[in-house]
Structure 1
């Protein structure tokens, strides 16, 4: 059984569009993962520095154009919470990346299969 040229062309075009969209989203997700990993590293370094401070040290955090006193324990807790949130985000982005890579791979395989079969279904 043979597929008409118009139907075959439309099918290939749809699969190619899906592959291109997947590739674009893969690039976007990879840049998001890299950005979040940098933020995690910064938060971990900051947490280490705060942990190394003597117990009675005053810590001031920037809020807009002013600085506000924050207890060391609150700052450390906030840094740990932000780090765990970012790690969760990276894990979710990793799952999304895996899905997108699978979708892209499958799209490419379908296109190759169509061309190798010569338009016969």
Structure 2
């Protein structure tokens, strides 16, 4: 049973479009992961610096164009929460990346199968 050439071309184009979209999304997700990891590293560095300060040291955080006094415990709690949130985001992005890479690989395999069956038939 043979598929007409026009239908085959349309199918290949649809699969190719899906593969291209998956590749673009893979690049986007990889850059998002990199940004989140850099942000996590900055938070970890800040946290390690704050942890070396004596507990009575006044600490100020930037809020817009001004600085507001914050107790070290609150700053540390905020840094820990933000780091945890970023870890969750990176885990979710890694899952999305795996899905997109699988989609891209499957699209490529389908295209190869179509071309290989076309050569044999």
TM-score class, shorter? over 0.9
Secondary structure at 1:69 match in 2 = strand
The answer (yes or no) to whether the contact 1:50–1:76 under 8 Å persists in 2 is: yes
Change (3 A) 1:12 1:120: farther
Residue of structure 2 in register with 1:59 after alignment: 59
Gaps of 5+ in 2: none
Gaps of 5+ in 1: none
TM-score normalised according to structure 2 size = 0.97
**Alignment pair present for 1:25 and 2:3:** no
Alignment of 1:1-40 (within 5 A): 1-40=1-40
> Which whole-Å deviations, capped at 9, do the CAs of 1:84-105 have from their partners, x for residues lacking one?
0000000000000000000000
Distance in 1, Cα, partners of 2:108 & 2:43: 40
RMSD over aligned Cα atoms = 1.3
Residue of structure 1 in register with 2:75 after alignment: 75
The runs of at least 4 consecutive aligned structure 1 residues that moved more than 2 Å come to none
Distance in 2, Cα, partners of 1:89 & 1:52: 28
How many residues are treated as equivalent by the alignment?
121
Give the superposition deviation at 1:55: 1.2
Distance in 1, Cα, partners of 2:41 & 2:64: 23
